[in-house]
Amino acid sequence: MRQLFKYIFPVILVLFAVCFVFAQTNESDLRRELDEIKQNQREMQKDLTEIKALLSKLTSQIPAQKPSQKPAPQQPPQIDVEGIEFNIGDNPVLGSESSKLIVVEFTDYQCPFCGRYTRETFQEVRKQYVDKGQIRYAVIDQPLPIHPEAPKAAEASHCAEEQGKFWEMHEALMANQDLLKDLSSYAKALKLNIRQFEDCLNMNKYRDAVNNDMELAKELGVTGVPGFIIGIVDETDPRKVKGISMIRGAMPIVAFQQEIDAALKR
């Protein structure tokens, strides 16, 4: 046993010495690596400080800019029609000739807002004011350039007027604006003389009348449809109107009641 211990003990001492030296070596390496990391951090911090200083200098040289502001949406210009005089020409007029007040509608047969107004609000205006003899009502053609089928539809309404069916055609066109390429279908539904109606359309009999209406709208500054001028009929010339106020767009019946009632009290 003693002989065995004699040989083992030196080996243990050697192993212990080796482990001690290895541990010392690792600790030294770790300390060296930590020192290198700290040195790198100091250098990085120095670089960051220099970068911040450079950015600050560059920023101070750039002129301050005001935050961009989007322009406020422009409202459509108001049209002052009070006192303005114009002639409605040969356009059809609905209502009693004794009525001194008139509503003049500027319209486009391909305009969906015009269609909605005719189907809804016009019926109330007619019932509450026209049929009771309080106002007259006229229609001025104003087909817009974006509606290629509207001018011919306007001509069709005047061709129907020759057979005493203007207002029926007017409402029929507005009630179904999807068939404007087949204007004869409206005439058939209204039981018009088809040959007379189609001859009227084909010879462009009312093209100039529609163009004259468009020119009138331009002169009055009426650029959007539907538009309405409320005015007074001249005592000596029932085709001459003096403006009082204007309604723009397919407004509900309340808007018309307000303007018409105010005009009736004048």
Helix axes 150-161, 194-202, angle to 10 degrees: 130
**What is residue 78's predicted lDDT score, i.e. its pLDDT?**
59
Residue 217: both structure tokens together: 């709208």
Mean pLDDT rounded to a whole number for the chain: 85
42 and 166 inside one domain? no
Can you give the pLDDT at residue 53? Answer: 72
Q: In this predicted model, what pLDDT tens digit does every residue of 236-266 receive, in sequence order?
A: 999 999 999 999 999 999 999 999 999 999 8
**Residue with more model confidence, 154 or 61:** 154
Q: Round to whole Å and give the CA distance between 69 and 62.
A: 20
The parent domain of residue 15 ranges over 1-57
Q: Does residue 217 form part of some domain?
A: yes
Distance, in Å, from the CA atom of 208 to the CA atom of 245, rounded to the nearest integer, reads 28
pLDDT of residue 266: 82
Structural domain contains residue 63: no
Same domain? 39 vs 112 = no
CA separation for the pair 161, 98 (Å, rounded): 22
Is residue 79 one of the residues assigned to a domain? Answer: no
DSSP H helices, the chain, are 2-61, 112-119, 121-125, 150-161, 166-175, 183-189, 194-202, 207-220, 253-264
Q: Which residues contact 216 (CB under 8 A, 6 or more apart)?
A: 86, 87, 89, 140
The stretch 52-69 carries a mean pLDDT of 61
Distance CA 89, CA 214 (A): 12
Choosing from 40, 57, 74, the residue where a domain stops is 57
pLDDT the model gives residue 4: 47
Q: How many domains does the chain have?
A: 2
Q: Does residue 220 have a pLDDT over 60?
A: yes
CA separation for the pair 253, 197 (Å, rounded): 34
* Alpha carbon distance 178, 173 (integer Å): 9
Specify whether 110 is located in the same domain as 199. yes
174 and 109 Cβ atoms separated by less than 8 Å: yes
Residue 33 and residue 125 in one domain? no
- Please report the pLDDT score of residue 248 as a whole number: 94
Which comes out higher in pLDDT, residue 121 or 48? 121
| Residue 68, domain member (yes or no) | no
- pLDDT digit string, tens, across residues 112-170: 999 999 999 999 999 999 999 999 999 999 999 999 999 999 999 999 999 999 999 99
Same domain, 91 and 43: no
70 in a structural domain: no
According to the model, what pLDDT value does residue 52 have?
Answer: 72
Do residue 254 and residue 129 come from a single domain?
yes
Residue 76 lies in a domain: no
pLDDT in tens, 81-114: 999 999 999 999 999 999 999 999 999 999 999 9
CA 149-165-245 angle, 5° bins:
70
Domain boundary among 57, 74, 101: 57
Does residue 162 lie within any of the structural domains? Answer: yes
Q: Give pLDDT tens digits for 179-208.
A: 999 999 999 999 999 999 999 999 999 999
- Would you say residue 66 lies in a domain? no
Within this chain, do residues 120 and 219 fall inside the same structural domain, yes or no? Answer: yes
Nearest to 107 by CA among 173, 191, 29: 173
